[in-house]
């Protein structure tokens, strides 16, 4: 292969990480448009679920673009900044907008449990701001040689997933409450999950926003599951977790994201309480 041909093929391969990153942004934009019922096609009553699915697809693109950049040895400062800009759309703006649309339009709450529209908007805005701050801090504190084995603060894709997982699972739960299908156990489960989502999702969003800008350590999921050797005491909870997922498969996605987001801070607070360090302030 001649040198000009080699350089041309090298440039063509380098396009792949950029296309994957831009795919992330397109999915985020698509999630916003479907949530606003302005998508390219009629969602037929499943706009929120499609929007949530697009956020999950954006997570896949976000995971693949980094692997593609390292595989082709095309990591760069430009790619890192572009990735954060796209993440701000898909994991900041899109889930905040979907939360607003879902709570106010699809699961409206009446009475004293209802959130004031200004409060809902403020929570959504704080989620966006904290996601942007989290991404900016990640860019400043991380270099290309970082092994990415853990994160300081909840990663924005995980925070977004914890929000959009509820619209993703809600069609099945609402069908149970309407009596269309499901056993009595499933209908009982849906009977308290659906009302709970109406009041708790904005509060979840507020806490998730705070966790994104905290200094709580979160493991990199792929490194934690695939790259590290684990003893039997790590395997047993994982097996029991799979059994629980099989039993509550319709709500397994929200539960998994919430356990990841809130489980580590709770465990960290318990550890500090045992060590007498609970009242030491978290660094931001």
Q: Which of 84, 218, 87 is nearest to 152 (CA)?
A: 218
- Higher-pLDDT residue of 250 and 117 is 117
Report the predicted TM-score, pTM, of the whole model to 2 decimal places: 0.80
Q: Which of 55, 66, 53 is nearest to 28 (CA)?
A: 55
Q: pLDDT, tens digit, for every residue of 81-125?
A: 889 999 999 999 999 999 999 888 776 555 555 678 898 999 999
Please state the rounded mean pLDDT for residues 179-202.
68
The CA distance from 58 to 43, in Å, is 19
The CA distance from 239 to 235, in Å, is 6
pLDDT of residue 225: 54
Q: Which of 229, 170, 217, 178 is nearest to 197 (CA)?
A: 170
Which value, to the nearest 10 degrees, does the dihedral of the CA atoms of residues 209, 245, 200, 98 take?
Answer: 60
- Higher-pLDDT residue of 57 and 106 is 57
Whether pLDDT at 14 is above 90: no
pLDDT of residue 10: 45
Q: pLDDT, tens digit, for every residue of 135-179?
A: 999 888 876 555 566 788 899 999 999 999 988 887 766 666 555
Instruction: Tell me the β-bridge partners of 151.
Output: 218
pLDDT of residue 26: 96
List phi, psi (to 5°) of 184: -65, -30
DSSP state of 283: P
Whether pLDDT at 13 is above 80: no
The CA distance from 135 to 140, in Å, is 9
List phi, psi (to 5°) of 217: -85, 125
Q: In the chain, helix, strand, coil percent, each to 5?
A: 75, 0, 20
Q: pLDDT, tens digit, for every residue of 71-84?
A: 777 777 787 888 99
**Domains of the chain, CATH where assigned:** 3-275 (1.20.120.1760)
The CA distance from 122 to 116, in Å, is 10
The CA distance from 90 to 59, in Å, is 8
Q: pLDDT, tens digit, for every residue of 207-241?
A: 999 999 998 888 876 655 555 555 555 566 666 66
DSSP, collapsed to helix, strand or coil, labels residue 150 as strand
pLDDT of residue 250: 64
Share of the chain above pLDDT 70, in %: 67
Q: Which of 25-34, 58-67, 97-106, 147-156 has the lowest mean pLDDT?
A: 147-156
pLDDT of residue 12: 45
- Higher-pLDDT residue of 9 and 88 is 88
pLDDT of residue 173: 67
> How many other C-beta atoms lie within 10 A of the C-beta of residue 234?
12
Residue 20's alpha-carbon distances to 1, 13, 24, 69, 75, in angstroms, are 28, 12, 6, 10, 13
The CA distance from 222 to 158, in Å, is 13
């Amino acid at each position: 292969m001649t040198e000009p041909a080699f350089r041309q093929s090298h440039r063509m391969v380098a396009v792949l990480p950029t296309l994957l990153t831009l795919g992330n942004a397109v999915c985020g934009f698509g999630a916003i448009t479907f949530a606003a019922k302005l998508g390219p096609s009629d969602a037929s009553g499943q706009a929120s679920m499609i929007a949530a699915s697009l956020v999950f697809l954006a997570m896949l693109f976000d995971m693949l673009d980094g692997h593609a950049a390292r595989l082709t040895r095309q990591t760069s400062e430009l790619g890192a900044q572009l990735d954060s800009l796209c993440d701000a759309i898909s994991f900041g703006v899109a889930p905040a907008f979907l939360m607003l649309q879902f709570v106010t339009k699809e699961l409206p709450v009446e009475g004293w449990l209802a959130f004031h529209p200004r409060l809902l908007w403020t929570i959504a805005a704080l989620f966006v701001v904290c996601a942007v701050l989290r991404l900016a801090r990640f860019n400043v504190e991380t270099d290309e040689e970082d092994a990415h084995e853990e994160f300081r603060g909840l990663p924005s894709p995980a925070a977004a997933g914890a929000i959009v997982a509820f619209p993703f699972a809600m069609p099945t739960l609402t069908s149970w409450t309407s009596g269309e299908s499901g056993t009595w156990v499933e209908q009982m489960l849906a009977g308290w999950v659906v009302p709970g989502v109406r009041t708790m999702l904005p509060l979840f969003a507020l806490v998730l926003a705070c966790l994104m800008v905290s200094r709580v350590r979160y493991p990199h999921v792929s490194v934690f599951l695939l790259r590290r050797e684990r003893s039997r005491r790590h395997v047993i909870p994982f097996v029991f977790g799979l059994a629980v997922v099989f039993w509550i498969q319709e709500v397994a996605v929200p539960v998994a994201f919430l356990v990841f987001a809130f489980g580590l801070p709770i465990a960290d607070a318990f550890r500090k309480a045992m060590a007498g360090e609970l009242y030491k302030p978290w660094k931001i």
